[in-house]
Structures are given as structure tokens and as C-alpha cells.
Amino acid sequence: MKICMIGTGYVGLVSGVCFSDLGNDVICVDKDQNKINNLKQGIIPIYEPGLEELVLKNYKNKRLKFSTDLNNSIKKSDIVFICVGTPTKKNGTGADLGQIYSVAKEISSSINRFKIIITKSTVPVTTGDEIEKIISKKINKEKFSVVSNPEFLREGEAIRDFIYPDRIVIGANDKKSSRILRNLYSPLISKGAKFISTKRRAAELIKYAANAFLATKITFINEIANLCEKTDIDVEDISIGIGLDKRIGSRFLRAGPAYGGSCFPKDTKAIVTTADKFKINLSVIKSVINSNSSRSKLLLNKVKGILNNKIRNKKICFLGVTFKANTDDMRDSSSLEMIPFLSKKGAKIKYYDPTGFKKEFNKLKNVNFKNSIKDAVKEADLVILHTEWNDFKSINFKKMYPSKNLKIYDMRNIYSPSKIKSQGFKYFGIGR
């Protein structure tokens, strides 16, 4: 099939490349000429394992193209995916749908035959209705169908998640579109993916409900970890004990920093705003948002305690600063709150992340990126393991740091407390 992906951000680029790898002709469109030029040269704007190889392979085989010409790209395509950003509004409430509606207007000027218009972006309930209204002002409804097809890609594992999905959700108000999209996804369905055909509004809400539930699990175990620290219990034991219950499941029960990234923070706020619009009080999700918002402050208080409230001139090393491993995404990462705070308090901070230097810390005083773990850890008073990259899991601190004055704050619980303590260092974990 001929596919147009509007937007070459995380969702649009990954999905477009994977569709091309399934044998479809895909045009990825973006207004950013520089980004398009880079993609044509194999320069990838995001860090995602396996993505670069797939881009080069399918671009070489001419199944994958990149363009800034939206009008012609739409005209050449059978299916048009909208993959633009839906960030939180500046006032901190619901999703900003400005880009979505702007794209819808552009699409309406480019429809020359029947098109399936799909929102791949995460959008609130009724967004599809609004897109349909916008396009139908210029185009007869018989010439297009608006469908919701939410993505469930995890950063760092997106390629695998696309190829081996748990489910494929299609929200279509007509059988024709559902049938066509079932055919599009047939290579994945044949591998065992469950195909869910539902109404458009239901598909929109499925995505938000899923993310809100996962955010709730993370927040829940973080709060249990707080209790564990006061009762001399290891939260890892609790996670295992409840995770083996099939009704609960073990995933997303790892205590750590506040949840961050491109989805959970904005999507929990967006679903609350939608519910408020319909005069429904989502009190559980509101509590999750509030608890998560206070998480970084709680962890900073822990750092204060570890350093006996003497932060000035302390040498602090951050291992990892992204919101999770295997991605360069800094959005809503706890490090964005922790590092500026410690910098203002007079700490001397060094950080190392496998994805390199971060412009977010560029203007902060005494905050420096190091090119190796060794250089980052060298002479530190406190090492904060912030992100669970594999690079950090087998560090020999004793060999790297002969002094026994080092304190290690393991915010992901990837180290054995007894092993660290046997090396003569002071260990602090989450919920331990």
C-alpha cells in the first residue's frame, strides 16, 4: 500500500520505517527541511536501537522516501497517518491539538480520491470528530474516512513493539476502512497480534486509559517504596510478591524516579482535562499526577540526607540523565529538576549518558558532561545512578574508585546493596 506519514518525530518515523520494511511504499513528510535532508543522508534525529539500520535498508530499496511536499505526498497515498505532536498546553492542562487541526486543514486541500486519514498521535476523545468536521468543509464525506489507530511503542524497544505488538487497535466508524487496515496489518496479525476493531472514540480512549493505568502502577510502587524505607523492607520483595499475581502482573512495578518521557506526563493530564469537560472526576488519576509531581522533591530530600544537608562544593556524579534507558528522550526526566536544584545549591556536578551531551544543562553553573563513566565518577563524593543503562550494571566501583568515602545512591535498584557495602562504600537505594 502507499502510505504517507505526516511528522517524522518518534511515532511517525518509527512507524513509517517499519511499514516500509513490511513491503509498503512510504513517504515520511516533515516541514523541517534540514531534518528531511539529514534523513536522506541516513542521519537519524532520535536515538532508537535498530532504527538507523532499517532506515538505510528501506531507503536504499526505495520503499522509504522523505519529503517536505505534503500536498503531493497525500495525493500519491492511499492511507495518511497523522503523527504530529500533541504536547500539554502551556497552561498545564489538556493536549494542545493545534498541529493536528492544522494538518487536517492541509489534508482537506489535497484529497483527490478516497483516503483513509488516521490519527496515530495520541489524541483526546472526540478529536476524530473534529478532524472529520474540518475536512468535510471542503471534501465530500464519501471521499475520506477518519480513523483512530493509537500506537503502543515503548521508547528503546519501539522496533520490536511494532513488529510483535500485543494488539492492533483500529477505531473506525465504517467497515471499509477497518477491512483495509486489517489487510495493512495482516503480516503482524499472522504473527499473533490481536486485531481489535472498535468505534473511533473508543480507540482514542483506549490509548489514554492504558497510559493512565501504567502511570498509576509506577506511582503505586513508588509510594509503597516510601513505606518500605520506613519499615526496613526491600521494595524488590514486594514487587516480586505482588507481580506474580496474574491479576496484577510484574511489569511497571519497578520503584524509581518519577515517570517521565513523551507519554505518561502529558497523557494523564489530558485524560483528566477530557473527563472534566464531561463533568467526570477522575480522582485516582489526579492523585497519580500529584504524587508523581512531588516525587523528584522527595528524592532530592533523600540526597540532602545522604550528604547531611551539606551540598555546597560536594562533587556529585549522575550516571544517566534520560528519563529511561535506551533512549535520548529528556522530556520530564527527574534529572531536569534534580541537577538544576543541586547546581543552585553549590554542588559540582558531572554527568555521563550514553546518548551524549544534553543542551538542557548547558547554562547551569558547575555542570559538566564527561565522555566516560570513569571520568564522571572520578573524585565524586556521591554517585547517583539515575538511568538504568546496561553500561552501568557491572561497574567495578572498587577498581575505579579506590577511596572508601564514596556514597552511591542507586535510584533504579540495579546494584546489590551487600556487594556495594562489602567494597567499603555506602549504599542507598529506593525503598530499601
- Tell me: the pLDDT tens digits for 173-188? 999 999 999 999 999 9
Q: What is the DSSP letter of 268?
A: H
Beta strand 367-369 with 167-171 is unpaired
Residues 210-219 have pLDDT tens digits of 999 999 999 9
Q: How do residues 19-74 score in pLDDT, each as one tens digit?
A: 999 999 999 999 999 999 999 999 999 999 999 999 999 999 999 999 999 999 99
Rounded to two decimals, the pTM is 0.93
Question: Are 208-292 and 295-428 equal in CATH topology?
Answer: no
pLDDT band, residue 93 (cuts 50/70/90): confident
Rounded to an integer, the average pLDDT of 363-391 is: 96
Looking at the DSSP bridge assignments, the partners of residue 167 are: 194
Q: What is the mean pLDDT of residues 136-160?
A: 96
> Of the candidates 28, 23, 25, 47, which has an alpha carbon nearest to the alpha carbon of residue 328?
47
Are 71 and 110 in contact by the 8 Å Cβ rule? The answer is yes
Closest CA to 266 of 122, 82, 119: 122
Burial 316-350 (b: 16+ CB within 10 A, else e): bbbbbbbbbbbbbbbbbbbbbbbbbbbbebebbbb
Rounded CA gap, 321 and 52, in Å? 23
Element (H, E) at 145: strand 144-148
**What confidence score (pLDDT) does residue 404 get?**
76
Question: CATH classification of 295-428 is 1.20.1250.20, yes or no?
Answer: no
Instruction: Please write down the HEC assignment for all residues of 35-62.
Output: HHHHHHCCCCCCCCCCHHHHHHHHHHCC
How confident is the model over 413-419, as a mean pLDDT? 96
**Ordered DSSP codes for 307-357:** TTT--TT-EEEEE--SSSTT----TT-THHHHHHHHHHTT-EEEEE-TT--
Q: Give CA–CA dist 185/19, Å, rounded.
A: 9
From the list 327, 331, 306, 315, the residue with the least C-alpha distance to 389 is 327
* Helix ranges, 328-428 (H): 335-344, 373-377, 397-400, 417-422
What are the catalytic residues? 263
Q: What is the mean pLDDT of residues 187-206?
A: 97
Asked if 216 and 285 touch (Cβ cutoff 8 Å), the reply is yes
pLDDT of 44 reads 95
pLDDT at 409 > cutoff 80: yes
Where does the pLDDT of residue 405 fall: very low under 50, low under 70, confident under 90, or very high at 90 and above?
confident
- With 90 as the cut, is the pLDDT of residue 309 above it? yes
Mean pLDDT of 163-182: 97
Please give the pLDDT value at position 414: 97
Q: In the CATH hierarchy, which top-level class contains the domain 208-292?
A: mainly alpha
DSSP state of 95: B
Helices and strands (H, E) in the chain, number of each type: 18, 14
Residue 134 to residue 376: CA distance in whole angstroms: 53
| Stretch 121-142: mean pLDDT | 96
Nearest CA among 76, 96, 86 for reference residue 28: 76
Query: Which pLDDT tens digit goes with each residue over 334-357?
Result: 999 999 999 999 999 999 999 999
Residues 6+ apart with CB under 8 A from 52: 42, 44
The residues spanned by each domain of the chain are 2-198, 208-292, 295-428
Q: Is the pLDDT of residue 91 over 90?
A: no
What is the pLDDT, as a whole number, of residue 92? 81
- C-beta contacts of 247-254 below 8 A and 24+ residues apart: 251/217, 252/214, 252/217, 252/218, 252/221, 253/217, 253/221, 254/218, 254/221, 254/412, 254/413
Under DSSP, is residue 23 helix (H, G, I), strand (E, B) or coil?
coil
Q: Which amino acid is at 364?
A: L
CA angle, residues 51, 167, 216, in degrees to nearest 5:
90
State the pLDDT confidence band at 401, using cuts at 50, 70 and 90: confident
373, 394 Cβ separation under 8 angstroms:
no
Print the SS3 string covering 124-153: CCCHHHHHHHHHHCCCCHHHEEEEECCCCC
What are the two backbone dihedrals, phi and then psi, of residue 384, each rounded to the nearest 5 degrees?
A: -105, 110
The pLDDT of residue 426 is 95
> Which CATH number fits the domain 2-198, given the four candidates 3.50.50.60, 3.40.190.10, 3.40.50.720, 1.10.8.60?
3.40.50.720
* DSSP symbol at 2: E
Distances (CA, A) of 126 to 131, 151, 376: 9, 17, 49
The secondary structure element, H or E, covering residue 423 is none
Read off the pLDDT of residues 262-305 as tens digits, 9 standing for 90 and up: 899 999 999 999 999 999 999 999 999 999 999 999 999 999 99
